[in-house]
Structure 1
C-alpha cells in the first residue's frame, strides 16, 4: 500500500503551530455536527480519525460523550491535550489507514472537515474504511463529512475552481483530473492585504466510490445527507455526510 503519512505529518505539524487550545469551544456553526454525532454515539464511545486540535472532539467530550482520537501529527495531539488531558480524551499518533486507535468496539467512528482526502492514495482510503470496520462494534456507525468534487465548474481545458471568497479568505482548488488529486490554495487577508498563503494536497473521492470502499470493508450505507441538519443529498449538493453501519451479529 502506498503511504502518504510522512508527507501529511510534516504538513500538519507545521500547520498545528497556528492552532490554539482555545479554538475548541462549542459554537453555533458546529452545534449541528455535534448534535448529529452525539445522537449516533448514543451510550457508546466515539473515535475521531484525524482529530487535529479537537475542534469537534473536545466539545463532544464536554457534552458527555466518551471520545478517543487519532492523528498523524504529534504536534496536533499536543494541542488537543492542552485543552483536555490525555487521561480524559485518549489519542494516539498514527495513520488512520493502518494504525490502531486507543481502544476498540466503538459505537461511532467519524471523519470531518474533508480529512478523508488527506489520504493521498486510493488504497489508503480503502484501508481507512477497513480500519474503521475493524474497530467498530456490531451495529456501530462510520461517518464521513467530505465535499463533492466540483468538476462541473471546470471549463474545458481549465483546472482551477474558486471556493470560499470573503474579505478575509480566498480558496482556489487546482484539480488534476488524471490522478484524482488537487491542491487547495488558501490566501488570508487583513485590511485588504494578503498576510499568508499556503496549499494542502488532497485526493478527492466521490460518494459512490466511498460506497464501494465501505462494501469492501463489510459496511453498508445507512444514510447520506447534504449537511449536518440532515437536508437531502441531491445532484446539486456540494458536500456530503455519509453514514455506514457495521452489520450486527444477528443480521443487517
Structure 2
C-alpha cells in the first residue's frame, strides 16, 4: 500500500487541480479533439437527455449542452464543480455531487457517457462494475453507455522494470509505474520550470482491458454496439492505443 491509497478522489481533484485542469484551445480542448467528441455524443444522444459521469469542469458537457442537448452531470469534486459554475449555470447544466459508481440523478436518459479514461479513477474492479450498473440504472431501454479509454501498453514495459515512460516533452515527463497483479497504475507527472524548479503530480488508476470492459457491460445488462479507435470512427485494431466503446441497454430494459 502506498501513500496514494489513503487519498480520496476529493483530495486528488482539489482546488489546485481544478484551477489548472482547463486547457482552452489545446490538449483535451483542442478543436480537433473536442469537436469530434461532441459531434459523436450529440449523434448518439438522438435528441434525448444525456448524463456525463465525472463531468469535471464541463469540457465536454458545456459544448454538448449548447447543441440543444439536455445534459446533466455527476462529479465528486466540489472544486471542479465550482470551476464549471464559472462557465455554465445550474439551469444550463445541472450537476449532482457524488461518486459515479453510486450516485443517482432523477429521470431517465438516452445517453450516459464517461470520457478521457476516467473509469480508471475507480481503483477496484468492483467499483468499475458498479459504475456500469449505475449507468444502466439511468438509461431508458435501448439507451447507450459510451466509454473512452486507453488500451494498456504493457508491451512497452522493459523486463524487470515496473515503469513505462509515457511522454517526454519540452518541460514535461510522464512516468507510469504499474502493478500487474492488481492492474493498478500510478502516473507521475514531472513539470519543469525555470532553472531547477519542478513540480510533481501523481494520480492512481486501475487499467481495464477492452475484453474486461465488455464483460462488465454484460454483467450490467448491456450489449456491445460498436468500438472504434477514436471519436472519428477509425477502425479499432491490435495497434490501437485507445478506444471509444458504445454499449446499448436491452430494449426490454432488462
Fold similarity call, TM over 0.5: yes
Asked if the contact 1:97–1:127 (Cα under 8 Å) also holds between the matched residues in 2, the reply is yes
- Which residues in structure 2 correspond to 1:162-241 (within 5 Å)? 162-190=165-193, 195-241=198-244
- The Cα of 1:25 is off from its aligned counterpart by 6.9
Q: Does the C-alpha gap of structure 1 residues 133 and 22 become closer, same or farther in structure 2, counting only changes over 3 Å?
A: same
The gaps in structure 1 that reach 5 residues or longer are: none
Superposed CA RMSD:
2.3
Alignment of 1:1-252 (within 5 A): 7-14=8-15, 15-19=17-21, 27-101=31-105, 103-190=106-193, 195-249=198-252
The answer (yes or no) to whether the contact 2:22–2:59 under 8 Å persists in 1 is no
Distance in 2 of aligned mates of 1:93 and 1:171:
30
Alpha-carbon contact 2:142-2:253 (below 8 Å) kept: no
Q: Which runs of 5+ in 2 are unaligned?
A: none
Count of residues in Structure 1 that have an aligned counterpart in Structure 2: 247
Separation (CA, whole Å) in 1 of partners of 2:42 and 2:167: 28
Q: TM-score normalized by structure 1?
A: 0.91
* Cα displacement (A) at 1:155: 1.7
User: Match of 1:120, SS?
Assistant: coil
SS at 1:139 equivalent: strand
The 2-side partners of 1:69 and 1:40 are apart by 17
Deviation at 1:105, TM superposition (A): 1.3
Paired residue secondary structure (2:31)? coil
Give TM-score, length-normalised by structure 2.
Answer: 0.90
Aligned counterparts of 1:20 and 1:236: Cα–Cα separation in 2: 30
Q: Do the aligned partners of 2:175 and 2:188 also contact (CA within 8 Å) in 1? A: yes
Contact 1:139 1:248 in 2 (8 A): yes
Which has the larger displacement, 47-56 or 23-32? Answer: 23-32
Change (3 A) 1:187 1:57: same
- SS of residue in 1 equivalent to 2:14: helix
Q: CA deviation at 1:28?
A: 2.8
Q: Is the 8 A contact 1:5 1:95 kept in 2?
A: no
Q: Tell me the alpha carbon deviations over residues 22-51 of structure 1, each in whole angstroms, 9 at most, x when there is no partner.
A: 789772321111111111012101111011
**Structure 2 counterpart SS, 1:31:** helix
Secondary structure in 1 matching 2:112: strand
